Amino acid sequence: GQQVMQIPQYQHVQEGEDFTTYCNSSTTLSNIQWYKQRPGGHPVFLIQLVKSGEVKKQKRLTFQFGEAKKNSSLHITATQTTDVGTYFCAGRISSGSARQLTFGSGTQLTVLP
Amino acid sequence: DAGVTQSPTHLIKTRGQQVTLRCSPKSGHDTVSWYQQALGQGPQFIFQYYEEEERQRGNFPDRFSGHQFPNYSSELNVNALLLGDSALYLCASSNLGGGPYEQYFGPGTRLTVT
């Protein structure tokens, strides 16, 4: 079945440093979504990428979708303590009528003040 | 505009028992998906309901079943509970007819099986 791998599993950064998490799929994706889950909370939708090579920015966050639509990344510039949480990618496969999202295992970000 | 709501927030059950979890989707959404999230893991897709039918199912046994009502709300039933069923159960709603399938998650139900 479809697998979505995400690295690293954990990342500790000093406040002000940059952070990147990477997502790789075993199959071509029709789109990929990114979510943030604060400790004790539920996943909150951040963004969706659909087009090959797409790049989207949200303030300090930059999201990329690979040319082959099998990988993606989230980059945070100059992290702040409010960025703490677990970041998940979730991919939707290209073929058939599948509507399910397959989540990666997440990257847990800790920002040290 | 109410978001996704779930009940109950916490639940403790004994092995072998049955449980029903409930979800009300965000206003305007017609599709409900259920996920199981074990501690330290990403959400695992259980199934999705649209037009009162199960449209997609993940790799979960038949002990997991669901239902969607005409008002789009949904229930998740788990029979013959196992210790391994302890997890956060998340409901997510979306608008299937709206294109991108952006999902809004509810706060979840924390199920503990003892």
pLDDT, tens only, B33-79: 999 999 989 999 999 999 999 988 999 999 999 999 999 999 999 99
Q: What is the pLDDT of residue B1?
A: 60
Q: Is B103 in contact with A98 (Cβ distance < 8 A)?
A: no
Strand A10-14 relative to strand A107-112, pairing: parallel
pLDDT tens string B6-41: 999 999 999 999 999 999 999 989 999 999 999 989
CB–CB of A106/A6 below 8 Å?
Answer: yes
Q: Best mutation site among A100, A105, A107 for testing chain B: the one with the most B CBs within 10 Å?
A: A100
Q: CB A99 to CB B96 under 8 A?
A: yes
Sheet-wide strand order for A61-65: A4-7, A19-25, A71-76, A61-65, A55-58
| Percentage above 90 pLDDT, chain A | 84
Min distance B105 CA to chain A CA atoms (Å): 6
Distance CA B37, CA B43 (A): 4
> What pLDDT digit, counting tens, does each position of A51-100 carry?
999 999 999 999 999 999 999 999 999 999 999 999 999 998 765 555 67
Query: Is a pLDDT exceeding 80 seen at residue A109?
Result: yes
User: DSSP assignment, residue B85?
Assistant: G
Q: Does A44 contact B48 at a Cβ distance shorter than 8 Å?
A: no
CB pairs under 8 A between A and B: 56
Structure letter (DSSP) for residue B40: T
